Amino acid sequence: MAIYTKEEARKILEKALSFSSADACEINMGGSESGNIRYARNTVSTAGHQSNQTLAVTSSFGKKSGVATIDEFDDTSLEKVVKRAEELANLSPENPEFMAPLGPQTYAESNSFIEATANIKPEYRAQVAAKSIEPASAKDVTAAGFLNDSSGFSAMINSNGLFAYNKSTNVDFTVTMRTNDGTGSGWVTRDFNDITKFDADKAAKIAIDKAVMSREAKAIEPGKYTVILEPAAAADLLGNMAGSFDARTADEGRSFMSKDGGTKMGMKIVDERVNIWSDPLHPDVPTSTWNGEGMPLKKMSWIENGVVKNLAYSRYWAEQKGVDPVPFPSNFIMEGGSASLDELIKGTKKGILVTRLWYIRSVDPQTLLYTGLTRDGTFYIENGEIKYPVKNFRFNESPIIMLNNLEELGQQVRIDGNLVPYMKVRDFTFTSLSDAV
């Protein structure tokens, strides 16, 4: 078992630190156990179990640092790894951007570990697969899916008195259902810290229904359409915005967030109903309450009423700019509304419902323009009803333009560890049609 308790981890880390003779020393350790099952063509394909543990020592003399790592935690190994890091530090060039380790910090207690998830067995994974495969077979549909569960811990200590520990569990599930005539495809994604929240039957049903509904899609002209983006679709575009919240590239003039020799901090960049924040303690999307260098992660607003509230500052860049460092968040939460998907559809005169987006790539970092395609369930809406499935589109769109063209926000859903609402957006730009199902 590679999951150490807080006290076990502290004991190992303190032992390792006792061997240090460097000016500064920081030690990170972690371990994980994960299992997965993969199925396709209505049968299991591959499955596996992975186990790993590691401990990394960063030793520094002045601005010279060295890193060494080991996966055995006995006293001899710990002494060896610390000495190796020190030897390497002595050989390294000075890093002008070196920052001394942080002093002691206070962290909120995280709630990211759930025992039930850590106890998942191969038999459970096989049952999840069966819950996709059996109903799919009954509907002339073929299931291909993947379930991955993991549990792990991370801990760190440094010579300035900092100690941090966290353990977490996670489960990710996706399934694609394709009709056997090859003309329909549906998909669903679920992710949780707590496996008991996962309903494998319900998830499979959504994907099967979408597959059947999406058969024999009609081609309609590409162009600008009102779209209802399901949270999985919206999350991918929003996630791509995250990198532009780096203060340094903004200050350097090479980011969407650059403006007149400075940044867009304080500027309204999107519709005033857009509020995005991060919160490691949110009960639906809990994460660790500290990052890899021991910075506490706290609730932090990024966009408030459409205005840029914060950019991420590394410790080095914060010092250069005379501000407090702001770590990148471990999740993001976008405020939603009360409308369900059905209600959003009912309120739409003409539009397109998008299940998910695929193969999203940056086209122009200056404008945050991205391209990609719709996939696994794209439907035409007219007078408040889904009328028929439509062929997939390629889009070329910027999340900034998308969030300026906001019509309505719906309920939030957890996607990839984030909370994202359904959103209705006008004038979303589709540039060509795809024959892909």
Instruction: Based on the shown chain and the rule CB under 8 A, indicate whether residue 410 belongs to the binding site for another protein.
Output: no
Write out the binding residues for another protein, residues 79-108 only, by CB under 8 A. Answer: 84-85, 87-88, 91-93, 95-97
Rule CB under 8 A: say whether 372 interacts with another protein. Answer: yes
Is residue 209 near another protein by the rule CB under 8 A? no
User: How would you class 317 by CB atoms within 10 Å of its CB: exposed for 0-12, middle for 13-18, buried for 19 or more?
Assistant: buried
Q: How far is the CB of 423 from another protein (least distance, A)?
A: 18
Residue 234 amino acid letter? A
Nearer to another protein, 146 or 345 (CB): 146
Q: What is d(CA 37, CA 47) in angstroms, rounded to the nearest whole number?
A: 4
Of residues 264 through 293, those in contact with another protein by CB under 8 A are none
Smaller CB separation from another protein, 158 or 249: 249
**CB of 46 or CB of 340, closer to another protein:** 46
Which residues, other chains included, contact 170 with Cβ-Cβ below 8 Å and sequence gap of 6+?
A: 117, 149, 150, 151, 191, 192, 193, 417
Tokens 């009609």 correspond to 218
**Contact between 123 and another protein per CB under 8 A:** yes
Judged by CB, which is closer to another protein: 21, or 51? 51
Report in angstroms how near the CB of residue 382 gets to another protein at its nearest: 25
Q: Which residues pair with 189 in a beta bridge?
A: 174
Question: Residue 424, interface with another protein (CB under 8 A)?
Answer: no
Asked if 200 interacts with another protein (CB under 8 A), we say no
Exactly one of 212, 265, 369, 386 binds another protein (CB under 8 A); that residue is 369
User: Near another protein by CB under 8 A, which window of 29-37, 223-231, 299-307, 378-386?
Assistant: 29-37
Interface with another protein includes 253 (CB under 8 A)?
yes
Options 82, 274, 276, 373; binder of another protein; rule CB under 8 A: 373
129 binds another protein (CB under 8 A): yes
Among 243, 296, 337, 347, binds another protein (CB under 8 A): 243
Residue 236 interacting with another protein (CB under 8 A) = yes
* Pair 208, 176: CB distance under 8 Å: no
436 binds another protein (CB under 8 A): yes
Are 97 and 248 in contact by the 8 Å Cβ rule? The answer is no
Q: Which of 77, 105, 310, 396 binds another protein (CB under 8 A)?
A: 396
Quick check: 117 binds another protein (CB under 8 A)? no
CA atoms within 13 A on the CB side of 85: 30
**Which class for 28: exposed (0-12), middle (13-18), buried (19 or more C-beta within 10 A)?**
buried
Q: Does 261 bind another protein (CB under 8 A)?
A: yes
Q: Are 263 and 311 in contact (CB under 8 A)?
A: yes
Would strands 350-364 and 224-229 be described as parallel, antiparallel, or unpaired?
parallel
47-76 residues in contact with another protein (CB under 8 A) are 47-54, 56, 66-71
Select from 111, 159, 160, 434 the one that contacts another protein (CB under 8 A): 434
Looking at residues 133 to 172 of the shown chain, list those that interact with another protein (rule: CB under 8 A).
Answer: 133, 142, 144-146, 148, 170, 172
In Å, how far from its chain's centre is CA 411? 19
Residue 177 contacts residue 213 (beta carbons within 8 Å): no
Q: How many residues bind another protein (CB under 8 A)?
A: 105
Could you please report the per-residue DSSP string of 5-19?
Answer: -HHHHHHHHHHHHHT
**Alpha carbon distance 146, 315 (integer Å):** 39
Rounded-to-integer distance, Cα 267 and Cα 55, Å = 43
Query: Helix 122-138 to helix 200-213 angle, to the nearest 10 degrees?
Result: 30
